[in-house]
Structure 1
Amino acid sequence: MSEMPVKRSPDATRPADTLTMTLFHAALRRDLERARFLLENPHWLSPRRARRLGRMLLWDMGELRRHHEGEDHYLWPLLLERSPESSELLNAMENEHLAIDEPLAELEVAARGLVAARNGPQQVLAALDVLEGPLRTHLEHEEADGMDIVTRVLNHQEWKEFEQRAWAAGYTPLEALRFLAWICDGVDWSPSVLRRTRMPVPFWRVLSGPLSSIAAVPGASVWAGTPAARIRSRVTPR
């Protein structure tokens, strides 16, 4: 009697699609641009909004730490194993993370000061200025070169397993919902991006429509009622 053929997941037969990486980077850039607007225009910052902005920046930096630690602990070693010839680029990715660590910590200190009303927007803006240069350089480098290695040596099933192990593990359901709302906020879901989600378009529009507009909802967003809410996530297709 012949053996039954092993059925492979469709995700195991196609290259990794790093849409979640693109969405994360876009959401991070969006929040930093929104924060910069409020910090440069402090007449929009009531004491309550300033505290909320400080807490929002602390949350953003916590997510950035989780993101980088997942790459350092899981992704770069896996890519090095599959593509030893890429060692120079992967070392550069790690070194760029190290260069971001100190200014990231300084922004966290300034944001805590904003929450506690120990300092004003000027100190937070100064810390943001120091962080944004190396951070934006790294994000662009990772998108342009790092993700090319991913799509070359990993299939999509392997990429999803990495995401679960490195980033999603440890989230409570409430934390996962907050992250989903954050990453969808301000995204213009073009047909090409929607196709990459692999979800039925009507279902995704019902889900993503409200989440994409959450920045304008009073009480739900630190940005609501300010021009910062109009700053969108710019998702660049690969």
Structure 2
Amino acid sequence: MSEMAVKRSPDAARPADTLTMTLFHAALRRDLERARFLLENPHWLSPRRARSLGRMLLWNMGELRRHHEGEDHFLWPLLLERSPESSDLLDAMEDEHQAIDEPLADLEAAARGLVAARNGPQEVLAALDVLEGPLRAHLEHEEADGMDIATRVLTHQEWKEFEQRAWAAGYTPLEALRFLAWICDGVDWNPSVLRRTRMPVPFWRVMAGPLSSIAAVPGASVWAGTPAARIRSRLTPR
């Protein structure tokens, strides 16, 4: 990027705002809570809904893998370069990812079994129980400490460039639209969050309504008509 372009960009002059990270984490927690409700209340699970739930969990875990790989390959090395004194914390972030890998794979295996009717909801619930502890602890650690480093040492322009390289570049336009609709599902767009997005209110109204329908938000049919649909995203304050 040229020096003139940097001067013109307001994002080059302000600290990184990691709202997208917060939105992703909140959407993942939301879907795992919704899945847990259905797994603990299997009378809501018709054979068709059970298969859809299995596919949804596989999609969730695929997105989590993409998310972690982007951090491991792009974000942690960048933060280490800018903040060498944070090496212990960044090593801990990678170690936590590795600790999650096995229970994540076990949940994927149980979800595939649910899709193929080889196992029932109890096996999936057992795998979810094992994954959720280390996963939630990692998300909280990353939000509290990992993102604090990013805010201190990166500009928002650099953060957006990281997101593009690590995550967005791997999506087709339709996949990107569906992902955006997914992370926006169930979010309380209060004034403080809207200010951080720097996008006009009508955009989010469209995302929450007709655009979400067109994009076919992943999982929408899984939760529809059940109390799980009322579980919303809860954003961690920063």
Q: Smaller-chain TM-score range? A: over 0.9
Instruction: Please list the CA deviations of residues 174-208 of structure 1 after superposition, one character each: whole Å capped at 9, or x if unmatched.
Output: 11111011101111111100111111123332333
TM-score, structure 1 as length reference: 0.93
SS in 1 for 2:3: coil
- Structure 1 stretch displaced more, 194-203 or 14-23: 194-203
Q: For each residue in 1:10-49, what CA deviation from the matched residue of structure 2 results, as whole angstroms up to 9, or x when unmatched?
A: 0000000000000000000000000000000000000000
What SS class does the counterpart of residue 220 from structure 2 fall into? coil
1:38–1:45: 8 Å Cα contact kept in structure 2? yes
- Residues 75/217 of structure 1: CA separation in 2 closer, same or farther (3 Å cut): closer
How many angstroms apart in 2 are the aligned matches of 1:232 and 1:46? 23
User: Residues 56 and 219 of structure 2 are in contact (CA less than 8 Å); yes or no, is this contact kept in structure 1?
Assistant: no
1:103-142, aligned counterparts within 5 Å? 103-142=103-142
Which range moved further: 208-217 or 46-55? 208-217
The alpha-carbon distance between structure 1 residues 216 and 234, as it changes in their structure 2 partners (threshold 3 A), is farther
Contact 2:179 2:217 in 1 (8 A): no
Pair 18,128 (structure 1): closer, same or farther in 2 beyond 3 Å: same
Write the distance in 1 (CA, Å) between the matches of 2:2 and 2:229: 62
The alpha-carbon distance between structure 1 residues 218 and 46, as it changes in their structure 2 partners (threshold 3 A), is: farther
Is the CA contact 2:181–2:207 (under 8 Å) kept in the aligned structure 1? no
- Between the aligned partners of 2:204 and 2:217, the Cα distance in structure 1 is 20
Query: Mean Cα displacement is larger for which, 223-232 or 181-190?
Result: 181-190
Shift in alpha-carbon separation, 1:206–1:62, aligned structure 2, 3 A: same
* Residues 130 and 198 of structure 1: CA distance in aligned 2, closer, same or farther (over 3 Å): same
Give the alignment's TM-score, normalised by structure 2. Answer: 0.93
Change (3 A) 1:235 1:229: same
**Equivalent in the alignment of 1:148:** 148
CA contact (8 A) 1:215 1:229 kept: no
Report deviation, 1:213. 9.1
Query: Secondary structure, in 3 states, of the residue corresponding to 1:188?
Result: coil
Note the C-alpha offset of 1:212.
7.5
**Counterpart in 1 of 2:29?**
29
How far does residue 4 in structure 1 lie from its aligned partner after superposition?
8.2
Unaligned runs of 5+ in 1: none
Cα 1:5/1:67, change in 2 over 3 Å? closer
1:198 corresponds in structure 2 to 198
1:62-112 per-position Cα deviation (integer Å, ceiling 9, x unaligned): 000000000000000000000000000000000000000000000000000
For residues 100 and 9 of structure 1, do their structure 2 counterparts lie closer, same or farther at Cα, with a shift above 3 Å needed?
same
Q: Is the 8 A contact 1:27 1:185 kept in 2?
A: yes
Cα distance change on mapping 1:5 and 1:40 into 2, 3 Å: closer
Distance 1:66 1:3 in 2: 32
Q: Indicate the SS of the match to 1:5.
A: helix
- Aligned-pair identity in percent equals 92
Count of aligned positions: 238
TM superposition shift of 1:211: 6.3
Query: Could you say if the C-alpha distance between residues 192 and 2 of structure 1 is closer, same or farther in structure 2, counting changes exceeding 3 Å?
Result: closer
CA drift of 1:173 comes to 1.2
